[in-house]
């Protein structure tokens, strides 16, 4: 789920199962490598400067969602007939998160209202133009460019990556809000999901769907499900065999765990395409 598009140049899943991720915000871009050495145990290697290992490890734990408990989800998903089988097949999958609020917002904005393939290509060009390259296992990864870098980037560079004027303006507005302290993760954490969504919607380029996606994928708010998500709708139709399902009833049953349905619908699509082993 962390790497669902081949155009992704921020993280990489190696043939041997090693997950690699480049991280910005350190003295030099940090490279994290993670392998599942045995059931229930991960081996993490950090290429980091002295004194930065603890913060790097905390980000890895956040990205992989390793501290999330799934008991409530397992109980709730078992009550939804069309979801039960998928939930059983994917039992133990933890909900991933972006490492920063900024990266979450950029992904949410760029992927608005265009196809996954087109958005992935724009994201790749943006990151390659502005991010820092890191050698990783014979390949090159890029640390995600910071808010300051994007805010200062020439218009021509952002346009050249494929970003529209509206999306450039939205990204600059969010970057400025973060840099000036008018928005940060702590402000959202101290609010309920409804209140946090309302705050996000005051920013240019963010509406209810985008706010929900930011809360789910950036802050790990599992009580949020992005309604009217086109990808989720396609996956739902695939999972149900084209039969109509009562999504609202399912969301009520799932309650505070409803956000995990978003991830499982993505898993259903990857499973149907035979890509799950390469992408989860």
- The pLDDT, as a whole number, for residue 280 is 35
In a domain, 207, yes or no: yes
Assigned domain for 176 exists: yes
> Which residue(s) pair with 31 in the sheet?
22, 47
* Mean pLDDT over each residue of the chain, to the nearest integer: 92
Q: What is the total count of domains within the chain?
A: 1
Q: Residue 3 pLDDT > 70, yes or no?
A: no
Q: Above pLDDT 90, what percent of the chain?
A: 76
Asked if residue 154 belongs to a domain, the reply is yes
pLDDT score, position 54: 95
The pLDDT of residue 253 is above 90: yes
Residue 205 and residue 169 in contact, taking contact as beta carbons nearer than 8 Å: yes
Q: Which structural domain, as residue segments, surrounds residue 91? A: 69-133+144-279
Q: What is the pLDDT of residues 34-81, one digit of tens each?
A: 999 888 899 999 999 999 999 999 999 999 999 999 999 999 999 999
pLDDT computed for residue 127 by the predictor? 97
Q: Which segment of 178-187, 198-207, 220-229, 232-241 scores lowest on mean pLDDT?
A: 232-241
Q: How confident is the model at residue 277 (pLDDT cuts 50, 70, 90)?
A: low
Q: For the chain, what's the residue count?
A: 280
The CATH number assigned to the domain holding 250 equals 1.10.340.30
In a domain, 3, yes or no: no
HSE (CB half, 13 Å, CA atoms) of 45? 10
CA separation, residue 35 to residues 15, 64, 85, 116, 136 (Å): 11, 12, 27, 27, 14
Q: Is 30 part of a structural domain of the chain? A: no
Confidence of residue 234 (pLDDT cuts 50, 70, 90): confident
Please indicate, yes or no, if residue 14 is contained in any of the structural domains.
no
């Amino acid at each position: 789920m962390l790497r669902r598009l081949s155009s992704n140049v921020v993280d990489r899943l190696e043939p041997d199962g090693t997950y690699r991720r480049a991280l910005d915000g350190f003295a030099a871009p940090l490279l994290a490598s993670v392998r599942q050495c045995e059931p229930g145990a991960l081996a993490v290697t950090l290429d980091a400067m002295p004194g930065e290992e603890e913060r790097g490890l905390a980000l890895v734990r956040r990205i992989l969602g390793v501290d999330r408990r799934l008991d409530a989800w397992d109980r709730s998903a078992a009550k939804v007939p069309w979801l039960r089988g998928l939930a059983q097949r994917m039992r133990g999958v933890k909900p991933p998160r972006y490492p920063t609020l900024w990266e979450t917002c950029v992904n949410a904005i760029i992927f608005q209202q265009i196809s996954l393939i087109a958005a992935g290509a724009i994201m790749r060009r943006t990151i390659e133009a502005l991010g820092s390259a890191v050698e990783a296992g014979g390949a090159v990864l890029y640390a995600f460019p910071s808010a300051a870098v994007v805010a200062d980037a020439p218009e021509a560079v952002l346009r050249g990556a494929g970003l529209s004027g509206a999306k450039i303006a939205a990204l600059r507005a969010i970057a400025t809000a973060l840099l000036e302290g008018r928005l940060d993760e702590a402000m959202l954490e101290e609010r309920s999901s409804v209140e946090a969504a309302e705050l996000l919607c005051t920013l240019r380029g963010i509406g209810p769907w985008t706010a929900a996606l930011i809360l789910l994928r950036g802050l790990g708010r599992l009580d949020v499900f992005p309604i009217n998500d086109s990808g989720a709708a396609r996956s739902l139709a695939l999972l149900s065999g084209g039969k109509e399902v009562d999504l609202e009833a399912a969301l009520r049953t799932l309650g505070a765990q409803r956000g995990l349905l978003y991830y499982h619908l993505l898993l259903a699509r990857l499973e149907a395409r035979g890509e799950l082993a390469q992408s989860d």
